[in-house]
Chain A
Amino acid sequence: MNNFSELHLDALTEVFSIGAGRAALSLSEIVGDEVRISVPSVQIINSEDINSTTLSLNCGRFGAVSQHFSGPLNAEAVLLFTEEQALKIVSDMMGSQMSTDELAEFEHEAMCELGNIILNACLSAMADILNFTLESSLPNYTVASADEILHRLKKNTDQSYILILHIDLAIEKRHTAGNLVFLLSSASLTNLIIHIDQFLGSIHE
């Protein structure tokens, strides 16, 4: 984290905002209604400093979509919403003609797709702007408690840094807040910094 400056953070926020815009466009096409996604803030912290406050994980259960990716960055990306929010998002996306009980059966797959769209959009924006390509696994959706999620995030000691994107998602006037978390090794973070520096260098030339 030593070399990570405000400027780097600004650049990343910019990259992810573009990613969010792309994700919103894809989602709008599917939903047939305006979807807006914004990334109000990006944060990088040491993984031991992660707690329920940094991720605004309070009580209840959470839906987590995760994808592993590899390349210049090796990381795990996890998109987190409360389970209740996840169901509402799915319901909004499907046009809400079903009860929450009925939605539960679709929740898993639909959340995988939603996570996949947002994660891929962020990764493709990184690829385009920071000029590197990443390989990724298919998304996986799990429902877990805040403790289980924190445990999982802290478990992997190789990945000592955590990049957190706070995400606002608005579908049909309903605002939902979630978090996109990237678990990064220090080598990956260093690589990320190098790529951001190259990008910043290229615009200053």
Chain B
Amino acid sequence: MSKISATAPESPTAPSFSTLPAASMQQEAKRFDMDDIFNSLNLGVCVVDADGKVLLWNNWIAKHSGIKEADALNRQFEKVFSESVSPAFLTALKNTLAYRLPVVLSTALHRTPLPLYNAFEVNQQQPRMYQSISITPIQSQLNEPCCLIQITDSSTSIKREKILRSHSEILKKEATTDSLTDICNRRFFDAHYEMAVADAKRQKHPLSIFMIDIDFFKSYNDYYGHIAGDNVIKQVAAALKSQLSRATDIVARYGGEEFVLVMPHLPQEIAEQFAERLRNAVFNLVIPHINSAPFHQITISIGLCTGIPKNSDNMLNKADAALYQAKQKGRNQCISLPLCEAEEYLQQ
């Protein structure tokens, strides 16, 4: 059979398509059989006539519906299936036949209009295949209005999307997490800091930046070794993180043994109390450090800057300057510098 036929060879009673003389078709004859093409397509192809009778039923549909071509041809489309066909599909089919306008049924809104399955096994409960369907009006060679129904399996594309999304989420998390401590990394901090400052500026609420450094860390590393040093960094990071409870607060590893916290909406006094809590949390870890006088254990110094940022303010520099003072004054303490000394001075 070398013509584009909508009828199966074994059903000579089928009305349309097959009535043109073979000779005229022969001139246009391809060197392959169109039936082979339909049956090899990786999508469902079905043609129904104006009465809704099936004229073409390719292998793909046969395979995914479990209904053989011979059992489908010349029967009403919706009656071919033993299960129900969605009303939206039937309306779409009716409209296409009535108005000759093409219709799409998206996966998003319909999911599974037809009882099709990825692996068809009789009597086995399994979910229907996700489908994308388009219905296009076509004409038979006798000028009868017919409809071409094309069905693609969208489960693979949905699965692919899901895999890609979960990969991208993992990558996004990895790109913003410090691998040693599992807290935020410098890249995340830089982006977050910009946004937090912009937010505070716009809403005129205070922002607190805590710069934190582990005291005498270099000599700890020299004496106890790098592996022990890494462990200290991990423990300190965990201790700092354990003090945070609001979603708006972040702690990030700023550099080697330096950390930074960004917390909005804290009045100066509360921010200072919080810094003290941070210092205590690390102090209470009681990690021995023989070369750290006078406590001989791991301690941190904190530089705090709190205030409502304005355009020219650099809160990070202020917090860094405060940290430097804390180191100068003997470590294991917090120094707080107001954001704007001039204003502070005027208020006094």
Chain A residues close to B by CB (< 8 Å): 26, 29-30, 90, 93-94, 101-102, 105-107, 109-110, 112-113, 116, 120, 123-124, 127, 133-139
Contacts and interface: CB of A to CB of B under 8 A. Distances in A.
Interface in B81-102: 87-88, 91, 95, 98-102
B140 to A, nearest CB: 16
B90 to A, nearest CB: 11
Interface stretch (B65-73, B106-114, B265-273): B106-114
A138 B88 contact: no
A136 B102 contact: yes
B95 A29 contact: no
Interface string B157-182: 01001000100000000000000000
| Interface majority SS (helix, strand, loop, mixed), chain B | helix
B106 A120 contact: no
A138 B106 contact: no
B102 A124 contact: no
A30 B91 CA distance: 11
A79 B87 CA distance: 26
Contacts of A102: 165
Contacts of A139: 102, 104
B95 A106 contact: no
B7 interface: no
Contacts of A112: 104, 106
Contacts of A123: 99, 101
A75 to B, nearest CB: 14
Nearest to A101: B165
A151 to B, nearest CB: 26
B106 A106 contact: yes
A123 B99 CA distance: 9
A120 B109 contact: no
Given A116-B103, A136-B102, A139-B104, A30 B109 contact: yes
A122 to B, nearest CB: 10
A109 B99 contact: no
B136 interface: yes
Contacts, number: 67
B161 A105 contact: yes
A52 B191 CA distance: 35
B168 to A, nearest CB: 10
Contact of B102 (A26, A93, A94, A137): A137
B95 to A, nearest CB: 7
Interface in B164-223: 165
A106 B107 contact: yes
Contact of A109 (B108, B136, B137): B108
B102 A29 contact: no
B239 interface: no
Given A124-B95, A127-B99, A133-B99, A94 B87 contact: no
A124 B99 CA distance: 6
B101 A94 contact: no
Contacts of A101: 165
Nearest to B164: A105
A-B pairs, 5 with minimum CB distance:
A106-B108, A110-B108, A109-B106, A113-B106, A124-B99
Given A26-B91, A29-B88, A109 B104 contact: yes
12 contacts: A26-B91, A30-B88, A93-B109, A116-B102, A116-B104, A120-B102, A123-B99, A124-B99, A127-B99, A133-B99, A134-B100, A138-B104
B229 to A, nearest CB: 40
A35 to B, nearest CB: 12
Interface string B111-143: 000000000000000000000101011000000
A30 B86 CA distance: 10
Contacts of A138: 102, 104, 134, 136
A135 B165 CA distance: 39
B99 A120 contact: yes
Given A109-B132, A135-B137, A94 B109 contact: yes
B8 interface: no
Nearest to B154: A109
B105 interface: yes
Nearest to A115: B104
Nearest to A119: B101
B109 A113 contact: yes
Contacts of B107: 106, 109
A119 B158 CA distance: 27
Given A29-B87, A105-B161, A113-B105, A135 B100 contact: yes
A113 B100 contact: no
B101 A124 contact: yes
B144 to A, nearest CB: 15
A106 B161 CA distance: 10
A113 B92 CA distance: 11
Given A105-B165, A109-B106, 18 more contacts: A29-B87, A29-B91, A30-B110, A101-B165, A106-B107, A107-B108, A113-B106, A120-B95, A120-B103, A124-B95, A124-B99, A124-B101, A127-B99, A133-B100, A134-B100, A135-B137, A138-B136, A139-B104
